Structure 1
Amino acid sequence: MKRYILFILLFVNISYGITVEEAIKRAKENLPLYYQGLSDFRSYFYAYRSSVSQFFPSLSYGFSYTRYSDKKPFNYFSRTHSLSLSWSIYNSGYRYFDYRSALHRYRASEYSLDEIILDIVFQVKYAYLKSAAAKERLKFRKIQFRAAKADYELAIDKKKLGLVKRSDVLQAKVRFENAKYSLVQAENEYRKSVAELNSLIGLPLKNDTEIDTSILDKYTENNFPDFEKLKEIAFSVRPEIKSLKETVKAYEESSKIYIFQYTPSVNVFYSINNSYSGYFGKDRYSSYGITLDWVIFSGLKRYYDYLSSKEKVRYNRYALKELKRSIELNLFKKNEDLKTAYTKLELARTILEQAEINYKQVLGEYKAGTSDIIALLTAESSLASAHETYVQSILELAITKISIERELGVEDINKVWGSR
């Protein structure tokens, strides 16, 4: 148990640098993906504000100038200034239902922006966790390299004393070179992982960003609810579901436009005109009135437009059902992956403890001359593999958890689950 505690302390060795929260904040400030979604959201917002403006009357000014080229004395000109106020009191329901449709599309775009933010959070967490695991893997490979080097040097010393054969030295050297190869590979993987994170948070790709590896320990806790509760959370908070619901409402409002096209439109107007004619002189007059326009028959266009809009409503309702089905299935599979990941982590932890004990035992026996180089190298290789498996098990568990959070539509499940 003491060895295990010492190992955990080694594993949780905290390095100070950018935290995952800071990385997420930087990504939101720098990623073009966010600003792309923000521009789309703003376009729907302005379209909504535009639909509100339809309820106001319109005021217009007009000017005309005309010259008549006729035989004298009938050669003259005229000019007119006019100021007109018009107001569509009722336009066959189009204005109201267009406003309602624009409102729901605006709300849908807001939820779509939330989905983009969740994508960004997931990408940053994924890249950060990969970098943290790569850093831990690099640390363990350095330990493996030093252990293989020590085994190689020990074999050389024992060969000089005539205690082992030359083949023992050669085998130790092969293991040493393999450890060096693995170390170079781990260094490359770590650099690439950090570069991926740097790209997301707006830093130079070659920037030596310091990763806080203690985040891996956070994801080893068993703090997720069961499948039914996960499904309940997803169906109540997932922005994509809310967005599709608003889209359905938008098409429902749009379909009403075609029904109310069978009703008349009513407009009022008032106009002031000031004119001057070289032939008639000055003239000033005003006019006002009310108009009613009713399209009684225009073929079957309005009818088929209505049927088309109703099909769009059905399409989006089915899309909503399909989305829920897909989310439910994905959550079930990821929840099964989560259970497996917990089991694999416990097994990896046990394997690591046993491999560490075995290596120390064989190393002592080899120094005492009661064991051969094959047993030592096998034990050292098993310990190295156990280290790799343990780190990979934690990474798989962490990625499974953030994948579930993404499927739920939350940045941190503890903020949602903790309040229930």
Structure 2
Amino acid sequence: MAGFITQQGGSESHTAIMARSMNLPAILGTQNLLATIRSGQTLVVDGENGKIIIDPTPETLNEYRRKIEARRRLNRQLARLRSLPALTQDKTRVSMQANIELARDIDGALNAGAEGIGLLRTEFMFLNRNSLPNEEEQYTLLKAIVEGMQGRPVTIRTFDLGGDKLPTLLDRKYSMSANPMLGLRAVRLSIKEQKLFEIQLTAILRASEYGPLKILLPMISSVEQIRQVKQILNKVIVKLKKRNPSLNLTMPPLGAMIEIPAAALIADSLAHEVDFFAIGTNDLTMYTLAIDRGDEQVANLFNPLHPAVLRLIQFTLEAARRNNKPASVCGEIAGDPRFAPLLIGLGVRELSMAWQSIPRVKQRIRVLKTGPATRRAFAILDQTDEDKVAALLDDFNEDL
């Protein structure tokens, strides 16, 4: 597959995220355009600029061939940054990690210079199949990923199922929610389907013998949810030790995804229960602005630079600092060089993104100075207008 277009979806939908992770040009939310395209026609899918050209002229095709070659040259230049640290001009170090789904992504992540896996999306093990994965199947896949990262840390997010991602067997069990993204999903589903959750936690704990890993809980909205998960996790550890007394098991670091406004607002309380935060800006933006990021009718309103979103990010980072807990950003803005000055200025020191984005973001970080980025970030936080926020950020990037 060279690229694709869809009638539905937005630029921050799960389909778009997958396209970026696979390095495929894609345009979503074209609505009625597909009805006008005939089999055998030549198309240009310009995912960078959101353009579809039907039956391009020879001149246009040659122009895009030149663009493709220019991108290849740039990628070769960026590859030279692989072994260099993401270090600002004034020596601030930023950890660059990768978001992945499957073991096949490991080589790409390592070749891009990833220092670890900041987000392993485990729900893809459960989708597009007629049966749920058993413990051994999950363990084998997780073990391969942990070993493949050769001692680098791996952050495993427990299954973020529900919403627009529900296995066939569970889909039959639960009625469709009128608002799936607000319904039984992520950690809510894990606590309700405790047997299924215990199987996954068992697989994760067994894989922890082969390298450093952390467990990340999605869609946390209360302290009680974390306490419930801890009880389940301790129960699984006891069972595993009874099953195999020779296992040297300890509780891996436990983290909370900050992707619901409620979680950001109680971040101080959550920090007493977890070892780290991971800010998921995709869902945080969606829930803050009440915008379905997969709905092309409102996709233009999805804006992670909205002042409300930025203040929730700031609130979370300040709570993490007060409680001496690390906080990463693993949403799509982490992989966009445009946002690097803002995130570094706000105090983010760990970014996790599609591995293809690591070299471009690293390049931007290496020309930054933390002091000016911090001053610009706080000037941005003083704004109430989205356009002004964007202008301040873009002006800063243009001067680099």
- TM-score class, shorter-chain normalisation, is under 0.3
TM-score (norm 1): 0.19
The structure with more helix, counted as a fraction of residues: 1
Name which one, 1 or 2, has greater alpha-carbon Rg: 1
